[in-house]
Structure 1
Amino acid sequence: MKKHIDTILVQSGNRTDAGTGAISPAIHLSTAYEHKAIGQSTGFDYSRTGNPTRSIVEDTLAKLEEGHRALAFSSGMAAIQAVLSLFTTGDELIVSQDLYGGSYRLFLQFEKQYGIRFHFVDMHDDSRITEKLNGRTKAIFLETPTNPLMNETSISAVSSIAQGHNLLLIVDNTFYTPILQKPITEGADIVVHSATKYLGGHNDVLAGAAIVNSEELGEKLFIIQNSIGAVLSPFDSWLLLRGMKTLSIRMAQHEKNARVISEYLKNHDCVSDVLYTGRGGMLSFRITREEWVGPFLQKLKVITFAESLGGVESFITYPAAQTHADIPVMERNRLGICNRLLRFSVGIEHVDDIISDLENVFNQLRGEAIIHG
């Protein structure tokens, strides 16, 4: 019987301990496992290679994304590094021009150290993608929506290009999660997550994931993961599993709040632009005056000025000085990541309290502007 995603989430880890009947799965801290004889194994030998608690969260991730296999990593960037390790010197990838600053930084490191070339393009225009194709192109890396400009791209459209040229399609699904989109069902080969964000959902676990659509890709990534060792620890696996149980209801409240707040910001005279897709809990906006950014962030009382996203608490991040600081200023400005842009991870607090916090700060900024002329 095929189960609804809500049921998969809530019952993840259930019925995995037949010996005790425990509802919450055990945290297996052991790093080594006994062999009864040469060639006899329980399926677990050494915790870097495989761990029972990690296996449960990996099985759940594979089901959520409707993939063949999932691998849990110590962070989202560790997952992306493992995926990039599928490629060799001389290979080329076409990637979203507007994407998370940490991914941008890692791409440049791989370009400098390993001679893998990355072409940053506007994924909305198919011709921009196809004009970068050549015999060395091996993959397309796509963020949708993008971080922080919230640009959406049709996964199925890019998948058609990838499949037509025998390329891997890699999609970062951190912002939307499998609640809102499942890239593998639209033609992606690999899905990556910073599971620290919405999947974990409580700002208490650092984790990453890669989900693949085939046994061959799964085995290749497993060999890389096992060799490098950037695996998710047993306790963090349990925390991630616990967090995912409420993913569906959390995403519903994130989105409900974000829709209200986006309308509030669109109609506010202290805000010039609001970037919101209408789905999910992430939005970005530009304050009308650059000199207001510092005081705005300092005066928040309910919303936290912090660098992460996707937790139950509301966070606002300043991309120019935080997540995207490694992108050159001219490139940031060209893309629209200007010094007035703020990224807002809308939490699940009562929406009236979030708006009151924003309104109080805006009123203080306007009052100070009047006093100082």
Structure 2
Amino acid sequence: MKKKFETNAIRNQMGRTEHLEHSAPLFLTSSFVFENAEDMRASFAEEKERNIYSRYSNPNCTELIDKVCQMEGAESGFAFASGMAAVFSTMAALLNSGDHMVAAQSIFGSTHSLITNFFPKWSIGHTFFPIHDLAAAERAIGPNTKLMYVESPTNPGVDVLDLEALGKLAKKHNLIFVVDNCFASPYLQRPIEFGADLVIHSGTKLMDGQGRVLAGITVGRADLMDKVYRFSRITGPALSPFNAWVLSKSLETLAIRVDRHCDNALALAKHLETHPRVAWVKYPFLKSHPQYALAKKQMKAGGCVVAFEVKGGLEAGKRFFDAIALLSLSANLGDSRSIVTHPASTTHSKLLPEERAAAGITDGMVRISVGLEHLSDIIADIDQALG
């Protein structure tokens, strides 16, 4: 019998030990022992699948990877110490000196910096394309282009990209199509169904959901993940067993948490649309969102992030942030606690002004990660801060 998402998230766990524990135990060990010399030789020769060293694999990490693979419809995966470790390791494992990648203009600030400031040192080139210009994306593809990278919804402007069209374009040109799915989570969106070869998550966000641990994960095609795995077992960005255990338990409540996040976020977005001190509001499941129909096609609900602009520009935005009383001023998102962020001066501050403008980030933009508090309390704090 095919089980539903929520059931698999709870019941997909490692086999019980001789103690018959109900909840998966922690395996806080750096290494594993062998029965004899032949067992050790065969294990290192990869003639058998077993744990050798926790930098390579660990039962807690394996449980988490298996769970996310099942959620995303992926063949294989690897868990990392942070979301950016997943982004870097995935790209570095698949790109060689002289290769070129195309990426959407609107991506996380650290990912943008990685592509523009570090990969050029290794002669890995890049071209950014406007997020809704498929023709520009195709023009950016050259004979040495190997990979296409996008986020949807985007950070921080919550734009929605046409994953199916981009997936077809990537396939046409034999590119590896990589999608950062952390704003949606596998509960709301499954990019592999739209043509993605690999899907990346910052497990720090909705997957954990309570601001406790850093984590990242990449899942997707087995042949590509084998390259990512072999790069990562040597370079050492693996997730710790404890953090993997925390995340695996967190995924048991992902669906119920994200449902509440989405309900609160949509209600807040509708409220802000009517506020006299707000210039504009963007949320994927708001009917005024430019890609509303596309969001409805690709996503189950709109996610936890709402973007809006305070009238009055940068100074008005600063007054708003200084007046916030209940919500947290932080750069994280997907937390049970609502968080407000000013992208232009924090998460995307390293971008040049023209780069921020190209990504749709204005000086007065506010990004709210809507949490699980009572909706009336969230709205009351935002209203008093807006004045």
TM-score (norm 2): 0.91
90, 97, 111: which is aligned to 1:89? 97
**Structural mapping, 1:255-274, within 5 Å:** 255-274=262-281
Match of 2:316 in 1: 292
How many aligned positions are there?
A: 361
Letter of the structure 2 residue corresponding to residue 299 of structure 1: A
147, 154, 162: which is aligned to 1:146? 154
Match of 1:123 in 2: 131
Match of 1:245 in 2: 252
In the alignment, structure 1 residue 353 sits paired with structure 2 residue 377? yes
**Structural mapping, 1:175-194, within 5 Å:** 175-194=183-202
CA distance, structure 2, for counterparts of residue 275 and residue 353 of structure 1: 21
CA distance, structure 1, for counterparts of residue 133 and residue 353 of structure 2: 24
- Unpaired runs of 5+ residues, structure 2, are 44-48, 286-301
CA distance, structure 2, for counterparts of residue 333 and residue 167 of structure 1: 28
Match of 2:144 in 1: 136
The offset of 1:227, in angstroms, is: 0.8
**Cα separation, partners in 2 of 1:189 and 1:21, compared to 1, 3 Å:** same
> Are the counterparts in 2 of residues 12 and 241 from structure 1 also a CA contact under 8 Å?
no
CA distance, structure 2, for counterparts of residue 39 and residue 202 of structure 1: 45
Note the aligned Cα RMSD (angstroms): 1.3
CA offsets 1:156-203 (integer angstroms, 9 cap, x no match): 111111111111100000001111110112111000001100011110
The offset of 1:205, in angstroms, is: 0.7
> Are the counterparts in 2 of residues 12 and 245 from structure 1 also a CA contact under 8 Å?
no
In the alignment, structure 1 residue 69 sits paired with structure 2 residue 79? no
In the alignment, structure 1 residue 57 sits paired with structure 2 residue 56? no
Match of 1:29 in 2: 28
In the alignment, structure 1 residue 9 sits paired with structure 2 residue 9? yes
Letter of the structure 1 residue corresponding to residue 9 of structure 2: L
> What percentage of residue pairs aligned between the two structures are identical?
31
- Unpaired runs of 5+ residues, structure 1, are 364-373
> Are the counterparts in 2 of residues 149 and 337 from structure 1 also a CA contact under 8 Å?
yes
Match of 1:338 in 2: 362
CA distance, structure 2, for counterparts of residue 137 and residue 305 of structure 1: 39
The offset of 1:334, in angstroms, is: 3.8
The offset of 1:335, in angstroms, is: 3.2
CA offsets 1:228-257 (integer angstroms, 9 cap, x no match): 111110110111111111110111111100
> Are the counterparts in 2 of residues 282 and 344 from structure 1 also a CA contact under 8 Å?
yes
TM-score (norm 1): 0.94
CA offsets 1:28-57 (integer angstroms, 9 cap, x no match): 111111111123157111111111111111
Letter of the structure 2 residue corresponding to residue 27 of structure 1: L
The offset of 1:2, in angstroms, is: 2.5
> Are the counterparts in 1 of residues 73 and 192 from structure 2 also a CA contact under 8 Å?
yes
CA distance, structure 2, for counterparts of residue 149 and residue 293 of structure 1: 16
> Are the counterparts in 2 of residues 148 and 319 from structure 1 also a CA contact under 8 Å?
yes
282, 300, 325: which is aligned to 1:301? 325
